Structure 1
Amino acid sequence: MSKYFCVIRQSLTSKLLLSCTFILYLTLATTAIATYKSPPNPSSPRTPTGSNSSRTNECTGNEKTSLTVLAPFAYVGQTVSLQPTFAWFVPNSQSRDIEFSLYKYVNGKPHQIGKIPMQSSPGIMTFSLADKQISLAVGQRYLWQVALLCNPNHPSEDLIASAEIEVVAISPKLKNQISQTKEFWKRSDLYAEQGLWYDALTETLNNPQNKASILNLLAELSQLEKEASGKVTEPNHKQDLDQQVLRLQQIINAEQALK
């Protein structure tokens, strides 16, 4: 092999690598993915959270997925929004009545402050309190629940999933960073780094064209729930965490299949 040929091949290889690197940079720049971390010193749920949708009935639809709230179970998910957005996954394609309920803790017990009826649609559904002009309070913890009404004559067959949410004050630094950031993925990343699950997820859900960010957040949460399950000794809580890990993975697989 001649020296001249070697130089040409080296030059072409360098240009190819440079081109690939540039393309990769552009791809990452336009589809940046946040890394979600659990909040510092998170609160433990007061009420058992989870889902009863692991059982089989006419409402389950695809056996590989189930009704699932997109929220942490190992600890109470946090938000800095007074009108946060809630998200959950509906497995079946048939539209059914669904109820979103919100509870405020009073003297340690949940008291309902709102119930909103709606129609289900398959995949990820969202609901923002801004739609009903309902506001939460900083320093308060709430329980939220979605119920898929499978059989009006047999309420016991409803599929129910729930989680808790805590409203925390936003730090001046984060508030300033968010106000100066236009790109949704950068805002999502800022929220995710601070353990603000609901805010990070809301930013990604408001921009569904970047599905990679949504799926990555779910994968990050699934991994954190899995790690937490390995440290839990209470059997029921461990079971809830293991089921949530499985459900989140199933949702990721189902959403990837739609690409």
Structure 2
Amino acid sequence: MTPLLRCTLLLVTLLAVPICVIEQSVAGLSPEVPRPRQINPIALGNTDSLGSGNRLKCGYVKDMKYAPPPTKAPDGANRVAVEEPLNRCGGARTVDGRFAVAILPSSGFSQTLAEYPTFLIYMPFTSVQEGIFSLSTSPNSYPYYQARAQLTGNRGIIRFQLPSSAPNLVAGKKYFWQFRFSAVTNESENQLLVIRGQIQRINASATLQNQLAIAAPRQKAAIYANNGIWQDALTTLAQLKCANPGDQGIASDWSSLLQQVELKELAMEPIIGVTVQPDKKITTKKTPNSTGPGPTSCPLYLK
């Protein structure tokens, strides 16, 4: 062994011993310094483009990925406006070939945590001044709640919330909703059209409640989508989009969500808030389990 190598080994030995002694001494005389808590992300996702405001306190926001609940598509739902009563296949179009369509998955079914959810419908018919919204417990039962929505006559996605004066949605129950209106179409100057959907209110699990409690609004939208709660994911993003029209991240999330239900072409359409007023012709005191005589004509539905 050369003298240089011996010196090197000796130096390493002398340096290593004190370090070990110091570490043992500190461990024995001082309280242990807490290590940083390991963060378990709520989900893995690419957050580089989300900005500093999109980090959760305990992880990162999920990707805007809608996971449909394992529920059979309901009979009696059609997200595209069709003639009422339906006597042909396909939806009614505007003169320039556009359809009115509820912003829903193609099944026409959605879930919500809200007692008074918000509904969004793309309305391309500028001739429509009023629409009638109703709730019932089955496709052919008499509606237990009905309200009138005053439209602006502008093309875009109309947004309205079930008023607090209406009977609240009960957790675990499914409801059928309808939106009827008359419009000038490519076939008629006064055609009665209807959109039908089904909505279910559910309860949030303890885990979901904890995730939502620490999430900013944009993260909440992603969490709703990941858990199959379409109506709340859509509503949250719509609110953010209206409040932050120049935010490219929110616009990207909005476009991504609509693309997943084959409605990406509507991503650039304006969102128009409208109000609804209870229809005096129908009582709101009926319970959701009550049924009336049924519609005057038994409607058929698109599958």
* Letter matched to residue 158 of structure 1: L
Displacement of 1:137: 0.6
* Letter matched to residue 255 of structure 1: E
* Letter matched to residue 257 of structure 2: L
Q: Aligned with 2:107: secondary structure?
A: coil
Q: Does 1:180 align with 2:214?
A: yes
Please, which runs of 5 or more residues in structure 2 have no aligned partner?
A: 1-46, 55-60, 84-90, 245-249, 271-303
Q: Distance in 2 between matches of 1:49 and 1:28?
A: 38
Contact 1:72 1:221 in 2 (8 A): yes
Show the counterpart of 2:78: 49
Displacement of 1:190: 0.6
Show the counterpart of 1:38: 68
Q: Does 1:114 align with 2:154?
A: no
1:97 to 102, 127, 130: 130
**Greater mean alpha carbon deviation, residues 166-175 or residues 110-119:** 110-119
**Correspondence 1:1-259 to 2 at 5 A:** 25=48, 34-39=64-69, 41-51=70-80, 52=82, 54-56=91-93, 60=94, 62-63=96-97, 65-74=98-107, 76-105=109-138, 109-121=140-152, 122-150=155-183, 157-181=191-215, 183-208=216-241, 209=244, 210-222=250-262, 248-252=263-267, 255=269
Displacement of 1:29: 5.3
Contact 1:150 1:159 in 2 (8 A): yes
Identity of aligned residues (%): 21
Is the alpha carbon distance of 1:73 and 1:111 closer, same or farther for their aligned partners in structure 2, counting shifts above 3 Å? farther
Normalising by structure 1, report the TM-score.
Answer: 0.66
* Letter matched to residue 206 of structure 1: Q
Q: Which runs of 4+ in 1 moved over 4 A?
A: 26-33
Is the alpha carbon distance of 1:194 and 1:27 closer, same or farther for their aligned partners in structure 2, counting shifts above 3 Å? closer
Q: Distance in 2 between matches of 1:163 and 1:146?
A: 9
Contact 1:90 1:120 in 2 (8 A): no
Displacement of 1:80: 1.7
Displacement of 1:89: 0.5
- Larger Cα-atom Rg: 2
Normalising by structure 2, report the TM-score.
Answer: 0.57
Displacement of 1:116: 1.2
Determine which structure has the larger helix proportion and give its number: 1
Displacement of 1:47: 1.7
Show CA shifts across 1:146-167 (max 9, x none). Answer: 122227xx99712221111111
Q: Distance in 2 between matches of 1:255 and 1:155?
A: 25
Q: Distance in 2 between matches of 1:216 and 1:30?
A: 19
Contact 2:175 2:200 in 1 (8 A): yes
Aligned length in residues: 197
Contact 2:221 2:236 in 1 (8 A): yes
Displacement of 1:95: 4.9
CA RMSD in angstroms, aligned pairs only: 2.8
Is the alpha carbon distance of 1:62 and 1:251 closer, same or farther for their aligned partners in structure 2, counting shifts above 3 Å? farther
**Greater mean alpha carbon deviation, residues 140-149 or residues 198-207:** 140-149
Q: Distance in 1 between matches of 2:182 and 2:128?
A: 10
Contact 1:145 1:161 in 2 (8 A): yes
Please, which runs of 5 or more residues in structure 1 have no aligned partner?
A: 1-23, 223-247
Q: Distance in 2 between matches of 1:173 and 1:131?
A: 28
Is the alpha carbon distance of 1:197 and 1:158 closer, same or farther for their aligned partners in structure 2, counting shifts above 3 Å? same
